Amino acid sequence: MDPGVGHLFPRIETARLRLRAFRLADAAEVQRLAGDRQVAEGTLLPHPYEGGTARAWIWDQALEFTEGRSISFAIERAEDGALMGAIGLEIDRVGACAKLGYWLGRAYWGRGYATEAVAAVLGYGFAVLELERIFAPRFRWNVASARVLAKAGLAQEGSRREYVAARAREETIDTHGILRWEWEARRQAGAPAALHPGSGAGGTALAG
């Protein structure tokens, strides 16, 4: 039985992607993609990614969505339905902001899919959730993610050092962010919004 969010969950379509709710049938592919050490390195994903982790995570994300705390989209390639990764927002309703995180399977890096997915989720966050700020942390060494975020209009805001338990090491974390008025200005200037309502409305950032 799948988590019962399908009729409530938004679906976003872009030129090449579909962003949709995760299904329990995705668990095996999530396990395979997220279990890649190179994918985990740039995120907060556990490694090794043990059996049963993906199924439990899918249930947890459904619960967080129903409670309004976060939304996690499966990134699916439109041409063949291949599951490529995940992207989502951790939502702070009081502060009208959200943290963006995403990851893609290694086979899908370097093709612009992450940039396309980020642009779509920014559109959802600002146009549908009516957020005022979206931010994304990344490890400083992850220059691919820096390029993705810059293309989507997120400016580097600051940095901090901390111990990252998921990676068992210290990291310098750079935070990138964009405000609603900046996103609106980009849209008015002709930057692609990448948001095409369906049934509703190569890099990684620190998803986990």
pLDDT in tens, 46-77: 888 888 999 999 999 999 999 999 999 999 99
Number of domains composing the chain: 1
- Going by C-alpha positions, the residue among 146, 149, 148, 133 that lies closest to residue 184 is 133
Question: Is 140 within the bounds of a domain?
Answer: yes
State residue 68 phi and psi, 5-degree precision.
75, 15
What does pTM read for this prediction?
0.89
> What CATH number is given to the structural domain containing 155?
3.40.630.30
Q: Where does the chain have alpha helices with state H?
A: 27-34, 37-41, 53-66, 113-123, 143-151, 180-188
Range of the domain at 178: 12-197
Query: What is the enclosing helix (H) or strand (E) of 136?
Result: strand 133-139
Query: What is the enclosing helix (H) or strand (E) of 171?
Result: strand 169-179
The set of residues, in sequence order, having a beta carbon less than 8 Å from that of 55 and lying 6+ positions away, is 24, 27
Chain-centroid distance of CA 122 in Å reads 10
**Per-residue pLDDT of the chain in tens (208 residues, 90 and over written 9):** 466 666 789 999 999 999 999 999 999 999 999 999 999 888 888 888 888 999 999 999 999 999 999 999 999 999 999 999 999 999 999 999 999 999 999 999 999 999 999 999 999 999 999 999 999 999 999 999 999 999 999 999 999 999 989 888 999 999 999 999 999 999 999 875 444 433 333 455 555 5
- 73 is written with which tokens? 């989209």
Question: Is 3 within the bounds of a domain?
Answer: no
- 186 is written with which tokens? 């980009």
The set of residues, in sequence order, having a beta carbon less than 8 Å from that of 204 and lying 6+ positions away, is 39, 42, 43, 102, 103, 104, 114, 138, 142, 144, 145
Question: Is 73 within the bounds of a domain?
Answer: yes
Question: Is 1 within the bounds of a domain?
Answer: no
Question: Is 67 within the bounds of a domain?
Answer: yes
